Amino acid sequence: MNSKTLIIFEYKILFEILNEISESLNFKIIQCHENEYNNIQFDPKVDYLVVSRKKLKSIKNLLVLDNRPIKVNKFIEIVNINFLKNKFLKQSNIKIGKYNLDLNSRVISLKDKNLDLTERETNLIIFIHDKKDVSVKDLQQSVWDYSPDLETHTVETHIYRLRKKMNEVFGDENFIINNDKGYSIY
């Protein structure tokens, strides 16, 4: 099964050219007209890229080709680069409870609100989210690379500051929960 599909939107000539060489492409191609786009059953396991002559606000992952002539091999290269970009972006975004965390930009977001994080805060959130019920000693060792026997309040201080930032931006007082088992994010 091909995990990449190029949707050629209202561009009959391009579809015909690519269809002739489709056996040598590393992606599937389908032709689509405006009235058919909303009826496409998108498989979440497949990466889609839409090619069009014009910008379409309602379509994600759109590659707009202007009217300049372009060589077929150059076009295929551009398509493959865009598939790689989409894959990279998809892998860099993770869901943390109701929030989205962009690992590349280190920004946590909810709806239209964003909060810039430090690298340490990002690592802290990921570690707590992945492990659940994490002790201070585990955090000292895994996130800070400190000895678990070291007496310090570094973890508590960072968590306090992160909680404060989350509350100020998102109004979330319960982003990181602490109980007798350790720290958790839900």
Q: What is the pLDDT of residues 107-126, one digit of tens each?
A: 999 999 999 999 999 999 99
Query: φ and ψ at 112, to 5 degrees?
Result: -100, 10
d(CA 45, CA 81): 19
Query: φ and ψ at 18, to 5 degrees?
Result: -70, -30
* 87 and 141 assigned to the same domain: no
Q: What is the pLDDT of residues 30-61, one digit of tens each?
A: 998 878 887 888 887 888 999 988 887 777 78
- Residues 6 or more apart whose CB falls under 8 angstroms from that of 179 comprise 133
Among 26, 58, 93, which residue terminates a domain?
93
- What secondary structure letter does DSSP report for 153? -
Query: φ and ψ at 98, to 5 degrees?
Result: -90, 0
The CA distances from residue 36 to 3, 19, 104, in Å, are 21, 19, 35
Among 93, 127, 149, which residue terminates a domain?
93
Among 58, 93, 128, which residue terminates a domain?
93
Tokens 């977001």: give the residue: 109
What is the span of the domain harbouring residue 132?
A: 97-184
d(CA 185, CA 183): 7
> 9-23, 59-73, 160-174: which has the minimum mean pLDDT?
59-73
